[in-house]
Structure 1
């Protein structure tokens, strides 16, 4: 090989070596802009959570995608462990859940959950994974009304206390054929509405079973109902048991709510009151005179006895009475029960 050719080969070898060195070193160089080091992309892997109900760990787990604000839990497994009946509704293509008078329906991809005939959103829609429907963890507390907490990578669910008791006088009954309800302890936006379902037990104090149609305005009842209620006015809650506290059944009852316009004392010492206000049934007059008989019950909104001295002019009352009245204006009848709401000072 001549001297010129040797020189060309040496230069070519050096050029290739330098080029290869530049290429292999390039990836190790980090560009720094504005004093900030570029961060690696966040992991898209979901965090997994074990689920414990009443001290027992479920075989199925929950998960939380990086984009989700809260963990998702397997609906059927969790609901069944809490005693709910879970069924697939082919007509609505949704999952129906029921326990006592708690009912809700869940549809994949739809952030819309039923609570006592009203709807709420949770900010996260149900989604399907591995042939299972998952719902946000807040579904347990907001819709099923159970206690739930997230502790590290464990979700702990504690079944809530099932019921509480409340007494009051029936002021409204609603039965549209599909939904039935009883309002006690007030009218309009006051008091509480007890939603009656197929599993609600209705009975007399001695255990005699009653139908919804046996309930009448003016009955004093003790209701065993859920610990939760809607935020509506009046609040609504499922009723598990309604027990009539009156000693005997009563027939059709009319009611008028209003102000005592006059207290009338007869020569024999008996009292009557003239009430003017709002009828609580279609057959009730807006103004009525009610005689107070020996067996007329005088109570407050909770059904507790009050003194006759509270019946003064200006008192806010609800008078309950039989349809048997005079044809005078105002009509005159006999009071079965008078609820004294307030007394004007």
Structure 2
């Protein structure tokens, strides 16, 4: 809820006071005053019907009774010579309207030199990455309003809302003091390598494992949802189509998981290191060597110098593959792969015609293993 602050300003220079002083004295007495129609009282820029009464040179406003009816507390700011009406939830000074808000998930938790707790929060939108300091002045609770100990914070916890500011360091990630933090449920955290990325009818499915060729017992299949956020190492947004096998990632998922093998779980945040090159496991290399060998004609094999298991297998971007398609299906498959920034596996053989034509190379979709064509020779 945005808290409201109402500023009452008298256009006549001089002192102002509320009726509080009179009521606090415990008695009332009859006085004579002057009602000035040339003095205006405004609330949020709007003129009101309140008229101050001047008694012995002082302006008296019926502010307290008016404020109470509206649910405000009255504070007199002597320096600025003004009355401030604050909601009961808000004390004098800074209100919640000066604070910024974010939702997200805790990435790291550290302890500051002064004993404060420092959390890095991965969020959404403009507040996509923040470092927040939690100290004795921070209101830290769970979703039910129960007070939490900062020592209980850990990576993977959901931040339902963090209010911070109003001062934010001009850095990336931004840094600020947390005024209020509401902590939600816990999620699982896994540092892994992408094994495969697949588009489904319901979204995207990412299989991660301890390594690119890890056993199925350590793999996890992560399903995307409407709230899933994918970012790179700079915490900038990424499309699922930009994720590739071999990329190192940190996944925030679960805690719900199926009992299947590999287990399936909902994905909330995925941080991908796009600087890590996609690689092929030894098993994958052998598989593509076999696929390519089976595509060769007897005439092509007669010119080979490389044996089946000596073929060079590399992974390259579809846009730079140099593959020449021969059918409409291959042409469409290559175009789709290039459009989404996919990879092609190139299998190359040395031949007795290399001096004239160059090596014989075949291209396959790295994910579907579909044969796309031969690479252009000289």
Higher helix residue share: 2
TM (norm. structure 2) is 0.32
Q: Which has the higher contact order (CA 8 A, sep 6+)?
A: 1
TM (norm. structure 1) is 0.35
